[in-house]
Each structure stands twice: as structure tokens, then as C-alpha cells.
Amino acid sequence: MKRLFLLALTACLLTTAATAQLRIVPQPVEVKNGEGFFRLSPSTAIGLAGNNAEATRVANMLSKKLSTVTGYTVPVTGGAINMGTSNIILSLNTTANATLGSEGYQLKVGTAGAQITANTAAGLFYGMQTFLQLLPAEVEGGKKVENLEWKAPVAEITDYPRFGWRGLMLDVSRHFFTKDEVKRYIDDMVKYKFNLLHWHLTDDQGWRIEIKSYPRLTEVGAWNVKKEGRFNYFSKPEPDEPRNYGGFYTQEDIKEIVQYAKERFVNVLPEIDVPGHSMAAIAAYPELTSTPGTYQVNSGEKFMEWPPSGHFYGLIDNALNPANEKVYTFLDKVFGEVAQLFPFEYLHMGGDETARNFWEKSEDIKKLMAKEKLKNLDEVQSYFVKRVTKIVNSKGKKLIGWDEILQGGLAPGAAVMSWQGMKGGIEAAKQGHEVVMSPQIFTYIDYMQGDRLMEPLVYASLRLKKTYEFDPLPEGVDAKYIKGGQANLWTEQIYNLRQAQYMTWPRGFAIAEAVWSPKAGRNFANFVDRIENQFPKLDQAQTKWAPSMYEPDVKAAKGVKNVVVTLVPEVDGLDMHYSFDNSWPDQYYPKYKAPVEVPKDADKMRIVTFKNGKQVGRFMTISVEELKLRAK
């Protein structure tokens, strides 16, 4: 028994060591490490048997990528090709491998060549992403690199996803992202095996999709007044300020992006957020609300209260009127056009954060409640959701919405995206509904990812380590109802693609691992080691990422004479140095070892972190006044 235990332990350690050495994200199911390297050469070719169009596209993508950075011509060759002459073989299984499923792959790298085998072209695509991670970081640079040995370590990898729904949500309503920027976001996400883009297309700050039946949705609803600063604290726009900030996607733009995503095995889930979050639609068509008046697209000024109780209170009515039949005619036409543009089986109706204080005053809604025997506003919301579900189903689609659609009773066949923790998803699954987990406590990557003095202030904080704890499958829930999970990037405080990238990476790595990799063997220190190998690749690709994990949380408490500061690192192996004399510390300054008391006359503290002798954190400057506030 002892010998068997030691053999099992050795095998486990070898597998972990192999994964750590290869430093792949997300972590593969199985890795067998070898010795030596496979080297690309001017004679390297990509072999692909058969005439599968999708597999050919994958081979051509790999060819283009390798040819660009190596300067070699790496052709795609049909028919049989010898792996033993520094070639790369892409091969579709003639008999399906049940273990791999529809997205899994096997990658074998030997000293004489490499081979990726899969049941489908999607599997080849994900195997290609793993193979590219084995090459030097410069493979992501997009230009020829001289005098570099292009080599990948010998290994055998068997890999397949834990969940079929592996998503990132991009909010393009609060700030508009161009067609090319959305494509670039897709390019970044597929490298880490995400397969779904949840596209939040409408909200109070902008309507971003052309609806030909209602042209004012983009003529009026796509534009507001440009504001810079902190969302929800902006001044109210003046009447003469130009409403020229924003934009929208034509239906041809939508088709182009959907096709671009499809070629990279990404489904696109469109969200039309109703009945709340509808200010942009109401500004264009004010008859859709229960409160007559003139409306404008919100520019980030405060228009709603978010009390701790979670009962949202609108200062301006931003909700559609569920008692108005014109609303359902409107939604029938909108969802009809949307359904024609997006082949994915689901349409997202939003359904979150509806401020009902205006509904309470509406005579129309009171009449509706009496007519339909609706006891409360939860049931009014449910009535609306069920009407929308029928509309969506009539377009040949399934409906999914945020977990508020559970209130008052969930429509048959509707799926739930659980954002207010895991509770809504658990409840929906127990009722037999499909669920996508995206709880804000783990997956809201618009939240601050470091100490608040380093990040744009927003609703809450979410450290990388907490994100890594995300598991889409709660204990006691039938796995067949949990489709997977996703991270959500709301963009109230995100003005451009660079900041969107900064907020996504590295927390996106943690989400990728939660939805792709096996739950067993998860280890944060090992994860950090592997994602550090990705940072040079992000740099080469000119993708911005956040160094927040290298920067401590700054805690303060009252001491005997003055404030006492505690520095709490997120990752291991950091050397934290500090100063109180207004100078900029480096590795020769005092090293933090224990809580330190602020000197009597100091007015600020500066902190910087090093790892293995290299500066990895940004300079942090915090005033003593701020420390005193934190001490309270």
C-alpha cells in the first residue's frame, strides 16, 4: 500500500510539475512532459488531410501567424505529410474520440514535429492556441523577429473543457467600442479558449444596434454628451451641450462581427436590456414609458438610487410600460430584427434593476394588475417577462435574462444568468431551468482589482485571488442545468479598449480556468506562476494588462501614538519597500516585514514592490490623511 501511495503521489507531482513548467492557461486536463524541443525551420509546413473548410481555416490561421513572426514561408499542405521533418500536422479524427468531445484536442510535440488531433475544427483551434503558448512570447508580436530560436518543449497534452459556455460580456452601451475594437477583444479572448461574447448592446447611455423598424433608436438613442470623470457623479448636461458622443453598429456591421466571431468558434449573445435600463429607447420613443414627458439619453449623471436593500428607486422613469401594448409591438419588431442577425440560439432580455416607483403610480399598470389578477409588482415583472419570452420564442430563439426574471415566477423554458451571487442560479436550476453563473462577487471584472488609490473608483473591489475562487457549479446542484459561466465587463468607468483590456487581464485568466479546467488540483500559487508567463505575450500583442496583483492592499488602524499601517500582499514572493520622507523608494529602502507606525510629522507614505530583484508594482502614494480615514 505504501508503495502504491508513493507511486500515486509521484505521478501527481510529475503532472503538476509538467503543467507548471509548460505554464499553460487555462490549465489542461492532462500533461505529460518530455525532454528536448521541437524547432521550427525554413522547411516547416502544416499538414492537413481532407477538405474540411473550418479545419482549413484553422490551418491557414496558424500558417499566417507563424509565417509572419518567423519570416519563414509555412505553407499548408494537403494530404499525407511526414511529421518527422519539422512539420505540424492538424488531423480530424475519422472516428470520434468520446473523451475529447466537440472542443477537446490532443497535442503531441516531439523533437521532430508536432501534431494536433481533434474531433472537430474547434478542437484543432484550441489545440493551436495551446501550441502557440509553448512558443516564445514573440509569437504574439505580429512582426518578423530576427535571430530567435523558434522552439516548443516536447510534451503530450490531452485537453477538453469542463463547461460549454465560457463567456465574457462586453458592455458597449456606456461607452461605444468600434467594430475593429470588438474584433480585437474577440482576438484576445479566444487565445484563452473563451467561446462566447455576451454583447450588451442597449442601456440608459446608448442604443448601439440599428433597428430598421425604429430608426430613432440610433438617430437619437445612440448619442449623449461626452463626460469624463466618475460615472454617476457627472454634472447634468446643459441644453446647448452637443449630443455627439457615442455611435452604433449598422446591421451590416453586426453581420461582419458575428461572422468574424464564428470563424474563431465564438458565439455572440446579444442583449437588449428591458424593461429597465431603457432610457436610450425612451429618449427616442417616449410613449414606451408609463410616465409621459420628454427624455434624453443619460450621459452618466445620477438618475437612480441604489440603496443597500436592493430596491432600486428611479429619479427619472427609465423603464418600459408593461401595460402598454405598443411596448410589445415594439419588442416584437426589435427582437425580430435581432434574431435575424444573430444565429446563436439565445437572446438576452436583461430584466435587471427595474425601478418600480413609477410603475406604482401608473393608472395603466393598476388596471393591468386588476385585469390579470396580479398581486404585486413582482408579478407585473413576471407578466412582462412571460410576454417577452413568447416574443423571443416566436423568433425561433430561447430567452435568457438576469436573475431578476425569477421574481414573480419564471416563464417556462427561460434560462437564468445569475449575477446577484449564486442564489438565483441555484433556485433556477432546482426549478429545472438552464443557468449561466456570473455572480458579481467573483466575475464582475469592472470592479476595482487593487487598492482603491490605484484604480478608478467604482462600486466594489474584486481581487484576482477572489476571482480565482469562482466555481460555476455549486454543491448540490444538478450539473446538467449549469451551462457554464462568464465574466462581465460593465463600462461605466471604462472609456476605451486599452482600459477594457486592463480590466480584463489577468482576471480573465482566472475565469478562463474556472470554465475550462478541471476543478481538482486548483492552486492559486501555481496559477500565478503560469499567468506570469502570459504577461510577456500580452506585451508582445500590445494588450494592456493590470499589475494590480503585485500591489498590496493598504490597511490602517489606530496605534498608540499614530496610525499603524499594514501591507497585505495578494501573491507570494513580493518584497515591499516604503518611505515616509516624500522620496521614491526602491529595493534599497526599508523592506516591509511587520505593521509600521507612521512617523509623527509624515504627510504621505510611498510603497513599491519587487519580485526577484525586479520592480513589478507601480509606485503607490497614500496621504496620511487617507490613512487616518482608513483607520476609522
Burial class (CB in 10 A: 0-12, 13-18, 19+), 613: exposed
pLDDT at residue 8 above 70?
no
- What percentage of the chain exceeds 90 in pLDDT? 93
In Å, how far are 167, 397, 419, 467 from 443, measured between CA atoms?
11, 26, 9, 6
Express each pLDDT in 568-622 by its tens digit.
999 999 999 999 999 999 999 999 999 999 999 999 999 999 999 999 999 999 9
Which pTM value belongs to this model? 0.95
**Rounded CA gap, 169 and 271, in Å?**
10
Q: Which CATH number fits domain 165-540: 3.20.20.80, 3.10.150.10, 3.40.50.1360, 3.30.390.10?
A: 3.20.20.80
pLDDT category of residue 80 using cuts at 50, 70 and 90: low
* pLDDT score of 489: 98
* pLDDT score of 4: 37
| Half-sphere CA count of 505, side-chain side, radius 13 A | 24
* pLDDT score of 310: 61
- DSSP states of 307-356: -TT---EESS--SB-TT-HHHHHHHHHHHHHHHHH--SSEEEEE------
Q: Which fold has domain 551-631?
A: Immunoglobulin-like (2.60.40)
Angle of CA points 320, 321, 324, to nearest 5°: 130
Q: Is 33 helix (H, G, I), strand (E, B) or coil?
A: strand
Report residue 506 as a C-alpha cell. 489577468
Rg (CA), the chain: 27
Which residue is it, cell 467594430? 179
Q: Tell me the β-bridge partners of 156.
A: 32, 108
CB 100 within 8 A of CB 118: yes
**Mean pLDDT on 3-12:** 37
**Mean pLDDT on 480-489:** 98
Length of the chain in residues, anyone?
A: 632
Q: Does domain 2-159 have CATH number 1.10.760.10?
A: no
Instruction: Enumerate residues 6+ apart whose C-beta is below 8 A from 404.
Output: 351, 352, 353, 354, 381, 420
pLDDT category of residue 66 using cuts at 50, 70 and 90: very high
What do you get for the CA distance between the two ends of the chain, in Å? Answer: 57
CB 438 within 8 A of CB 470: no
Strands 620-623, 604-611: pairing is antiparallel
Report residue 509 as a C-alpha cell. 485568466
Could you tell me where the DSSP H helices lie in 71-220?
121-134, 179-190, 216-219
pLDDT at residue 13 above 80?
no
**Rounded CA gap, 439 and 341, in Å?**
28
Q: Tell me which residue of 445, 518, 516 sits closest to 484, measured CA to CA.
A: 516
Q: Is 90 helix (H, G, I), strand (E, B) or coil?
A: strand
Which residue is it, cell 469562482? 470
* pLDDT score of 306: 77
Question: How would you classify residue 89: left for phi > 0, otherwise alpha for psi between -120 and 50, otherwise beta?
Answer: beta
Express each pLDDT in 303-347 by its tens digit.
998 777 666 789 999 999 999 999 999 999 999 999 999 999 999
Express each pLDDT in 412-447 by its tens digit.
999 999 999 999 999 999 999 999 999 999 999 999
* pLDDT score of 244: 97
CA 85 from chain center: how many Å? 40
Strands 76-78, 46-48: pairing is parallel
Report residue 472 as a C-alpha cell. 460555476
Q: Tell me which residue of 575, 570, 614, 602 sits closest to 591, measured CA to CA.
A: 575
Instruction: Enumerate residues 6+ apart whose C-beta is below 8 A from 325.
Output: none
Which residue is it, cell 418600480? 356
- Count of CB atoms situated within 10 Å of the CB of 518: 15
Domain boundaries, the chain: 2-159, 165-540, 551-631
* pLDDT score of 19: 41
- DSSP states of 346-397: EEEEE------HHHHH-HHHHHHHHHHT--SHHHHHHHHHHHHHHHHHHTT-
* pLDDT score of 79: 74
Report residue 125 as a C-alpha cell. 483551434
* pLDDT score of 84: 74
DSSP character at residue 162: S
Q: Which residues participate in catalysis according to the annotation?
A: 203, 277, 353
Q: Tell me which residue of 346, 350, 340, 347 sits closest to 319, measured CA to CA.
A: 350
Express each pLDDT in 378-391 by its tens digit.
999 999 999 999 99
Q: Tell me the β-bridge partners of 106.
A: 117, 158
The secondary element (H helix, E strand) that includes residue 538 is: helix 535-540
What dihedral do alpha carbons 401, 403, 404, 405 form, nearest 10°? 50
